[in-house]
A and B are shown apart, each in its own frame.
Chain A
Amino acid sequence: MDQAKSMMDQKGSSGPCCANGLHKAFRSQLSNGGSHSPSGGSHDGYHHLHHDPQTNGSPAKRCRLRRRLDSLRKNRPPFPWFGMDIGGTLVKLVYFEPKDITAEEEQEEVENLKSIRRYLTSNTAYGKTGVRDVHLELRNLSICGRTGTLHFIRFPTAAMHRFIQMGRDKNFSSLHTMLCATGGGAYKFESDFRTMADLELLKLDELDCLIHGLLYVDSVGFNGHPECYYFENPSDTQHCVKRPCSLDNPFPMLLVNIGSGVSILAVYSKDNYKRVTGTSLGGGTFLGLCCLLTGCETFEEALEMASKGDSTNVDKLVRDIYGGDYQRFGLQGSAVASSFGHMMSKEKRDTISKEDLARATLVTITNNIGSIARMCAVNEKIERVVFVGNFLRINTVSTKLLAYAMDFWSKGQLRALFLEHEGYFGAVGAFMELLKSSEEP
Chain B
Amino acid sequence: MATPGGTDRASHSLDKSITLPPDEIFRNLENAKRFAIDIGGSLTKLAYYSTVQHKVAKVRSFDHTAKGDGEPLYEISVQEEITARLHFIKFENTYIETCLDFIKDHLVNTETKVIKATGGGAHKFKDLIEKKLKLKVDKEDEMTCLIKGCNFVLRNIPHEAFVYAKHADSEFRFQNTHPDIFPYLLVNIGSGVSIVKVESEDKYERIGGSSIGGGTFWGLGALLTKTKRFDELLQLASKGQHTNVDMLVKDIYGGAYGSLGLTGDLIASSFGKSATADKEFSKEDMAKSLLHMISNDIGQLACLYARLHNLTRVYFGGFFIRGHPVTMHTITYSINFFTKGEVQALFLRHEGYLGAIGAFLKGAEEDNPNQYSWGENYAGSSGLMSVSPDLNPMQRARSGTFDMLEMDRLERQLVNLPLLQDPSSYIPDTVDLTEDALAREYWLYCFEEALDGVVKRAVASQRDQPEAAERAEKFRQKYRHKLQTLRHQPFAYGSLTVRSLLDTREHCLNEFNFPDPYSKIKQRENDMALKYYQKVVKSLEELSWDQRQFALVRGLLAGNVFDWGAKAVSDVLESDPEFGFEQAKHQLQDNSGMDIILGVFPFVRELLIRGTEVVLASNSGPALNDVTNSELQIVTERIAAMDPVIQAAVKEDRLTLVQSGSSSPCLDLSRLDKVLATVVRERSTDLVVIEGMGRAIHTNYYAMLSCESLKLAVIKNSWLAERLGGKIFSVVFKYEVPSKTQGQY
Whether B191 contacts A372 by the Cβ 8 Å rule is no
Cα distance A189–B253 in the bound complex, in angstroms: 8
Say how far B232's CB is from chain A's closest CB, in angstroms. 13
Cα distance A260–B216 in the bound complex, in angstroms: 20
Residues of the B chain whose Cβ atoms lie less than 8 Å from the Cβ of A293: 223-224
The segment from A61-69, A111-119, A194-202, A338-346 that touches chain B is A338-346
Residues of the A chain whose Cβ atoms lie less than 8 Å from the Cβ of B293: 280-281, 285
Whether A287 contacts B275 by the Cβ 8 Å rule is yes
The segment from A1-9, A180-188, A424-432 that touches chain B is A180-188
- Residue count of chain A within 8 Å CB distance of chain B: 65
Residues of the A chain whose Cβ atoms lie less than 8 Å from the Cβ of B260: 207, 275
Interface flags, B39-52, vs A, CB<8A=1, else 0:
00100000000000
Whether A277 contacts B338 by the Cβ 8 Å rule is yes
Whether B252 contacts A338 by the Cβ 8 Å rule is no
Residues of the A chain whose Cβ atoms lie less than 8 Å from the Cβ of B348: none
Whether B213 contacts A338 by the Cβ 8 Å rule is yes
Whether A344 contacts B191 by the Cβ 8 Å rule is yes
Whether A349 contacts B222 by the Cβ 8 Å rule is yes
Q: Closest residue to B228 on the A side, CB-wise?
A: A346
The segment from B294-302, B615-623, B737-745 that touches chain A is B294-302
The segment from B242-250, B375-383, B447-455, B589-597 that touches chain A is B242-250
Q: Closest residue to A295 on the B side, CB-wise?
A: B277
Cα distance A261–B246 in the bound complex, in angstroms: 11
Pick from B215, B272, B300: contact of A88, CB under 8 Å? B272
Q: Closest residue to A276 on the B side, CB-wise?
A: B304
Residues of the A chain whose Cβ atoms lie less than 8 Å from the Cβ of B224: 292-293
Interface flags, A159-187, vs B, CB<8A=1, else 0:
00000000000000000000000011101
Residues of the B chain whose Cβ atoms lie less than 8 Å from the Cβ of A296: 277
Interface flags, A258-289, vs B, CB<8A=1, else 0:
01110000000000000101011111110111
Whether A342 contacts B219 by the Cβ 8 Å rule is yes
Whether A343 contacts B219 by the Cβ 8 Å rule is yes
Is residue B391 contacting chain A, with contact meaning CB distance below 8 A?
no
Whether A184 contacts B216 by the Cβ 8 Å rule is no
Cα distance A225–B257 in the bound complex, in angstroms: 36
Cα distance A346–B338 in the bound complex, in angstroms: 35
Residues of the A chain whose Cβ atoms lie less than 8 Å from the Cβ of B194: 329
Is residue A399 contacting chain B, with contact meaning CB distance below 8 A?
no
Is residue B307 contacting chain A, with contact meaning CB distance below 8 A?
yes
Residues of the B chain whose Cβ atoms lie less than 8 Å from the Cβ of A283: 269
Whether A288 contacts B271 by the Cβ 8 Å rule is yes
Is residue B281 contacting chain A, with contact meaning CB distance below 8 A?
yes
Residues of the B chain whose Cβ atoms lie less than 8 Å from the Cβ of A379: 304, 307-308
Say how far A32's CB is from chain B's closest CB, in angstroms. 24
Residues of the B chain whose Cβ atoms lie less than 8 Å from the Cβ of A376: 304
Interface flags, B270-300, vs A, CB<8A=1, else 0:
1111111100010000100000010011001
Q: Closest residue to A86 on the B side, CB-wise?
A: B252
Cα distance A284–B301 in the bound complex, in angstroms: 20
Say how far B555's CB is from chain A's closest CB, in angstroms. 64
Say how far B12's CB is from chain A's closest CB, in angstroms. 17
Whether A284 contacts B247 by the Cβ 8 Å rule is yes
Q: A343 and B220 in contact (CB under 8 A), knowing A260-B247, A280-B246, A375-B301?
A: yes
Residues of the B chain whose Cβ atoms lie less than 8 Å from the Cβ of A16: none
Whether A339 contacts B222 by the Cβ 8 Å rule is no
Residues of the A chain whose Cβ atoms lie less than 8 Å from the Cβ of B251: 88, 188
Q: Closest residue to B256 on the A side, CB-wise?
A: A187
Cα distance A282–B249 in the bound complex, in angstroms: 13
Cα distance A259–B272 in the bound complex, in angstroms: 10
Cα distance A376–B300 in the bound complex, in angstroms: 11
Whether A338 contacts B219 by the Cβ 8 Å rule is yes
Whether B216 contacts A38 by the Cβ 8 Å rule is no
Pick from B219, B269, B300, B307: contact of A372, CB under 8 Å? B300
The segment from B176-184, B204-212, B424-432, B662-670 that touches chain A is B204-212
The segment from A71-79, A130-138, A363-371 that touches chain B is A363-371
Residues of the B chain whose Cβ atoms lie less than 8 Å from the Cβ of A362: none
Residues of the A chain whose Cβ atoms lie less than 8 Å from the Cβ of B208: 371, 375
Residues of the B chain whose Cβ atoms lie less than 8 Å from the Cβ of A87: 252
Is residue A50 contacting chain B, with contact meaning CB distance below 8 A?
no
Whether A280 contacts B269 by the Cβ 8 Å rule is yes
Q: Residue among A183, A275, A337 with the most chain B CB within 10 A?
A: A337
Residues of the A chain whose Cβ atoms lie less than 8 Å from the Cβ of B277: 291, 295-297
Q: A336 and B211 in contact (CB under 8 A), knowing A260-B272, A279-B297, A328-B144?
A: yes
Residues of the A chain whose Cβ atoms lie less than 8 Å from the Cβ of B215: 316, 337-341, 344
Whether B211 contacts A280 by the Cβ 8 Å rule is no
Is residue A205 contacting chain B, with contact meaning CB distance below 8 A?
yes
Interface flags, A87-102, vs B, CB<8A=1, else 0:
1110000000000000
Cα distance A291–B218 in the bound complex, in angstroms: 19
Residues of the A chain whose Cβ atoms lie less than 8 Å from the Cβ of B272: 88-89, 260-261, 280, 282, 284-285, 288
Whether B252 contacts A185 by the Cβ 8 Å rule is yes
Say how far A43's CB is from chain B's closest CB, in angstroms. 18
Complex interface residues of chain B between 366 and 413 (CB less than 8 A to chain A): none
Pick from B255, B257, B269: contact of A282, CB under 8 Å? B269
Is residue A394 contacting chain B, with contact meaning CB distance below 8 A?
no
Whether A288 contacts B275 by the Cβ 8 Å rule is yes
Q: Closest residue to B191 on the A side, CB-wise?
A: A338
Residues of the A chain whose Cβ atoms lie less than 8 Å from the Cβ of B213: 338-339
Residues of the A chain whose Cβ atoms lie less than 8 Å from the Cβ of B308: 375, 378-379
Residues of the A chain whose Cβ atoms lie less than 8 Å from the Cβ of B214: 338
Whether A337 contacts B211 by the Cβ 8 Å rule is yes
Q: Closest residue to B281 on the A side, CB-wise?
A: A292
Complex interface residues of chain A between 398 and 417 (CB less than 8 A to chain B): none
Q: Closest residue to B214 on the A side, CB-wise?
A: A338
Say how far A374's CB is from chain B's closest CB, in angstroms. 9
Cα distance A290–B276 in the bound complex, in angstroms: 10
Q: Closest residue to B141 on the A side, CB-wise?
A: A328
Cα distance A331–B273 in the bound complex, in angstroms: 36
Residues of the B chain whose Cβ atoms lie less than 8 Å from the Cβ of A375: 208, 301, 304-305, 308
Is residue B254 contacting chain A, with contact meaning CB distance below 8 A?
yes
Is residue A220 contacting chain B, with contact meaning CB distance below 8 A?
no
Whether A340 contacts B269 by the Cβ 8 Å rule is no
Q: A339 and B212 in contact (CB under 8 A), knowing A88-B268, A260-B247, A344-B219?
A: yes
Cα distance A288–B305 in the bound complex, in angstroms: 29
Is residue A357 contacting chain B, with contact meaning CB distance below 8 A?
yes
Cα distance A41–B271 in the bound complex, in angstroms: 33
Residues of the A chain whose Cβ atoms lie less than 8 Å from the Cβ of B218: 340, 343-344
Say how far B334's CB is from chain A's closest CB, in angstroms. 11
Is residue B240 contacting chain A, with contact meaning CB distance below 8 A?
no
Say how far B227's CB is from chain A's closest CB, in angstroms. 11
Is residue A25 contacting chain B, with contact meaning CB distance below 8 A?
no
Whether A284 contacts B259 by the Cβ 8 Å rule is no
Cα distance A207–B271 in the bound complex, in angstroms: 23
Residues of the A chain whose Cβ atoms lie less than 8 Å from the Cβ of B72: none
Residues of the B chain whose Cβ atoms lie less than 8 Å from the Cβ of A185: 252-253
Name 15 A/B residue pairs within 8 A (Cβ), A-sorted.
A88-B268, A184-B268, A260-B272, A261-B267, A277-B304, A279-B300, A284-B268, A288-B245, A288-B269, A296-B277, A328-B144, A335-B211, A337-B215, A342-B219, A343-B223
A residues contacting B by CB (< 8 A) are 38, 87-89, 183-185, 187-190, 205, 207, 259-261, 275, 277, 279-285, 287-293, 295-297, 314-316, 321, 328-331, 335-344, 346, 349, 357, 364, 367-368, 371-372, 375-376, 378-379
Other than A314-B219, A342-B219, A368-B297, give 19 A-B pairs with Cβ distance below 8 A. Answer: A89-B272, A183-B252, A185-B252, A188-B251, A261-B247, A280-B268, A280-B270, A292-B281, A328-B141, A328-B143, A338-B190, A339-B192, A341-B216, A344-B219, A349-B219, A349-B223, A371-B210, A372-B300, A375-B305
Which are the 9 A-B pairs with shortest beta-carbon distances? A343-B219, A288-B271, A284-B269, A184-B252, A338-B215, A188-B254, A284-B272, A340-B219, A341-B215
B residues contacting A by CB (< 8 A) are 41, 120, 141, 143-144, 190-192, 194, 206, 208-216, 218-220, 222-224, 228, 245-247, 249, 251-255, 257, 259-260, 267-277, 281, 286, 293, 296-297, 300-301, 304-305, 307-308, 338
